[in-house]
Structure 1
Amino acid sequence: MQIGMVGLGKMGGNMAERLRRGGHDVVGYDRDPAVSDVSGLEELVERLQAPRTVWVMVPSGDPTRATVKALGDLLSPGDILVDGGNSHYVDDQKHGAELAAKGIGFVDCGVSGGVWGLQNGYALMVGGEKADVERVMPVFETLKPEGEDGFVHAGTVGAGHFAKMVHNGIEYGMMQAFAEGWELLEASDIVTDVAGSFKSWRQGTVIRSWLLDLMVRALDEDPSLSELEGYAQDSGEGRWAVQAAVEHAVPLPVITAALYARFASRQDDSPAMKVVAALRNQFGGHAVTSKAGAAEKGADSPGADVTPPVETAG
C-alpha cells in the first residue's frame, strides 16, 4: 500500500521504516531535508496516487492542527488523513468534522511502543468510520505486533486518542508506584540489594511487566540513579485524563496523584510548603528553615522561647 508519512522523528521515522520493511511504498516528509523524500506537503500529495492516505506524526497541539489544516486544503474527496500523534480527542472531533465537509476521511490513532516499536511493533488504538479504518488496515497490520492483540478499532472519531489518553494515565500510575516502591526500598536500613529485589519480581509475581523490565534495565545502567535529576515532564495525556474524569464524574485518585507528583518534581522550592512552614511557625512556633539554610528556633526546637499570642474575645 502507498502512504504518505508527515513527521520522520523518533517515532515517525521508525514507523516509516517498519512499513517499508513490510513492503509498503512510503513517501516521507520532514522539515529536515536530510531525511525527507519531498520538499513540502504539496509535493507529498502530488507524489501519492488517489485515493491517498497520509499519516501525520508530528507533535500534538498547534503543529498537528496546522498540518491537518494544510493537508485539508491539498487533499481531495476520497482521501484519508490519519493523525497518529498524541492529540487531544476533542481536536480529533473538530478535525473529523472539518475534513468530512470536504469529503476527506479522518482516522485518529493512538500509538504506543516508543523507540522499541520498530523491532517489537506498535500498539494501535484507532477511532474513525469503519470504511476508513478498513482501508488503512494493511498499514495497521504491518505496524502492530504479531499476534491477535495490539490493535483495536475503539470507536468513532476521537475514540482512538481517548483510549490512548486512558492508557497513558494508567502508565502514569504504574510508573509512580514503581518509583515510590524504589524510594522506600532505598530508605530501608535492612534491604541491601534494591536492584536485585526489582529483578526478583520479574518472574512469578503479579507485577511482572515490560515496565518492570525497563525499570530493571535502568537500574542495571545506574543502580542508584545518581546520574538523573528527579524532574519529570508530562506530555499532556495525564492532564486530559484528569479533565475527562471530572467531566464524567469518575474518581481517578491514583492517576491524579501521579500527575501532581510530576508537577512537584519540577519545583526546586515548593511555594505551597513555604505557606505550610509559615503557618506551623505562626500557630505553633515550630522551627522554620531560612533561605540561608539554617534552622531557626521554634517551639519544638531545643532552647526555644516562644510566647504564644494572647487570645482575646472577639
Structure 2
Amino acid sequence: MTKAQIGVYGLGTMGSALALNMAEKGFDVAVTNRETDWISSFVAEAEDLAEKLHPHEKIEEFVAALKVPRIILFMIPSGKPMDMMIDAIAPLLDPGDTIIDGGNADFHQTRRRSEELAAKDIHFVGMGVSGGEKGARHGPSMMVGGSDHSWQQLRQVLVAIAAKFDGDPCVDHLGPDGAGHFVKTVHNGVEYADMQVIAEIYGLLRYGAARAPADIGEMFVRWDQGRLKSYLVEITGKILQFSDPETSHPMVDVIKDAAGQKGTGRWTVVEAVRLGQSANMIEAAIGARSWSSEKDTRGTAQKILSGRRSELTLDEATLADAFLAARILGYAQGFRLLAAASEEYEWGLDYARIAEIWRAGCIIRSALLDDISEAFRGDLPAGQLILAPQFAKLLSGCIPALRQVVAAAASGGHAVPAMAAALSWYDTMRQGYGTANIIQAQRDFFGHHGFERLGEEGKHHGPWWE
C-alpha cells in the first residue's frame, strides 16, 4: 500500500483545493473529513488526480497511511475545533511528526499550541495561506511559522504547490511559533485598507461625478496596466463591468452595501494597540465595514442629517496619484506592525522576503512589492519604508493629489475614512515637532504624571504643582 507524503484533514473549499494542488504536483495525499460523506464525492470529482488521493474515513487509518515522520495539514475552522482535533490526533502521532494549522488563526493560540506540542516532541506549524480557492488550487502565497525541523519536512511540498513570481516560490519559513500566522494577519489588515481605498475612489466617482459603474470599471482596467497594477485593481475593473442577469442593472447596484468581515482585520488592529502602535488606515477600514452593517440606521440618518453629497470634479490622474500615495502608506503601516511584533517576540522577520512572498498568489499582490523588497534590502533610514529614497520621492509627487482628493471629499460630504487616515498619518510623521507636549502638560496637571523636558533627562513637573 502506497504511503502518502502528506495528509489533509478538512475538505472544504480551501482544503480540497490544496489537496488537488498537491496531487497535481505528484504527491500522494491522504485525505479525510469530519463529514465522511464528503470524502468519496471529492475523490470522484478529482478525475485524473484520484489515483494520488488516498481517502480514509477513520482518523486512525488516515494517520497510519502517512509516511513517517508524518505531516498533517488541518484546513478547519480555528479556535476550539483546532484544539479538539489536536487532542484527538496527538495520541496517534510519534515524536518528530508535524501538525499544520492552515487556517486564519490567532497567533497567540498558535504560540500556545506550539509550546504544548513541543513538550511531546511534536512540531506545530502555523501557516498563513492567501489567494482564495483559485490560489489554493493553482498556487497560493504561504507564510510559514514553526521549527526548522518542520520546515525541512514541509519545504518540498510547499515549494512545489506555491505561486511563482519569475520562478521564485511565494512561500518561506518566516520564524518560529506564531510568526507565519501573524504575518498573515497583517496581510489581511493591509488587504482591508486597500479594499477600502478602492471603495472610496469608486464612491467619489459614482456619487460625486455620477459616472456609470462600467465606466469606472474601465478606469480600473487602465490602472491595472501601470504602476497601480494589483489583483484587487484587476478584479474591481472586472466586477464593475458586470450586469445583473435578472434586472440588467449594473451588478454592483443590486448588492446590499453592507460589508462582511471574518475578524482577521480586527485582530490586526487589536495587535497594533497591544504593541503600542497604530495602523490608522486599517482601523478606518474596519470602522467603515462596521458602519456599513448599520444599513437601517444609515437610512434613518440620511433623512435626519441631510445625506446629500455635492458634485465633485476630480480627474483620473489625480485619483490615481492619491490611490498610489494611500497604497504606499497602507503597506508602510503593515510593515511597521511586523517590525514591532518581530522585536517583541524575537522572530527576526525578513521584511524583504515577506514582500517577495506577497508578489504572487495572494490577495494584496501588486506592482509595488518589488520596490518594497528592494527598499528593505537597501539602506532604510530609521527602518521606515516611507523614508526609503524611492518611496520618499514617490510620496512627494503624489501626496498633493491625496490632499486634493481628501479636501474635495470632505468639502462635498463624501466619506473617505481610509484616505483621510493615510494623510493624517503622513502629516504626523513628517513633523519633527508636534503637539503631544500639550497632552503631557494636561496629564501632569490632572494626574501628576510628569513629563520630559527638552534636552534634559529625568521626570519633571509643571509650575502648576508649586
Instruction: Tell me, yes or no, whether TM beats 0.5.
Output: yes
CA contact (8 A) 2:20 2:137 kept: no
1:154 is paired with a residue whose SS is strand
Partner amino acid, structure 2, of 1:6? Y
CA contact (8 A) 2:124 2:177 kept: yes
Instruction: Name which of 235, 239, 247 aligns with 1:214.
Output: 235
Taking the aligned partners of 2:21 and 2:253, their CA distance within structure 1 comes to: 35
Per-residue CA deviation, residues 172-194 of structure 1 (Å, 9 max, x unaligned), is 00000001111111013464522
TM-score (norm 1): 0.82
CA contact (8 A) 2:224 2:233 kept: yes
CA contact (8 A) 1:18 1:142 kept: no
Identity of aligned residues (%): 36
Q: Please show how residues 117-266 of structure 1 align to structure 2 within 5 Å.
A: 117-118=135-136, 120-146=138-164, 147-189=167-209, 191=211, 193-204=215-226, 206-222=227-243, 223=250, 225-266=252-293
Asked whether 1:20 is paired with 2:23, we answer yes
Per-residue CA deviation, residues 82-109 of structure 1 (Å, 9 max, x unaligned), is 1111111011111111111111111111
1:269 is paired with a residue whose SS is helix
Taking the aligned partners of 2:157 and 2:172, their CA distance within structure 1 comes to: 14
Taking the aligned partners of 1:224 and 1:183, their CA distance within structure 2 comes to: 15
Displaced runs of 4+ in structure 1, greater than 6 A?
A: none
Shift of 1:13: 0.3
CA contact (8 A) 1:57 1:84 kept: yes
Structure 1 residue runs without a partner (length 5+): 278-286, 290-314
1:198–1:118 Cα change, 3 Å: same
Task: Please name the residue that 1:298 is paired with.
Answer: none
Asked whether 1:11 is paired with 2:33, we answer no
Taking the aligned partners of 2:256 and 2:297, their CA distance within structure 1 comes to: 16
Tell me which of the two structures has the higher relative contact order, counting C-alpha pairs closer than 8 angstroms and 6 or more residues apart.
Answer: 2
Taking the aligned partners of 2:304 and 2:211, their CA distance within structure 1 comes to: 33
CA contact (8 A) 1:168 1:237 kept: yes
Instruction: Name which of 81, 88, 94 aligns with 2:99.
Output: 81
Taking the aligned partners of 2:235 and 2:89, their CA distance within structure 1 comes to: 38
Per-residue CA deviation, residues 256-286 of structure 1 (Å, 9 max, x unaligned), is 1101111112213349x98xx7xxxxxxxxx
Partner amino acid, structure 2, of 1:152? D
What is the alpha-carbon root mean square deviation over aligned residues?
Answer: 2.1
1:196–1:104 Cα change, 3 Å: same
Taking the aligned partners of 1:102 and 1:188, their CA distance within structure 2 comes to: 61
Taking the aligned partners of 1:268 and 1:191, their CA distance within structure 2 comes to: 23
Shift of 1:244: 0.8
Taking the aligned partners of 2:288 and 2:171, their CA distance within structure 1 comes to: 31
CA contact (8 A) 1:124 1:144 kept: yes
| 17-26 vs 211-220, greater mean Cα deviation | 211-220
1:49–1:190 Cα change, 3 Å: closer
Aligned residues: 276
1:13–1:190 Cα change, 3 Å: closer
Shift of 1:240: 1.0
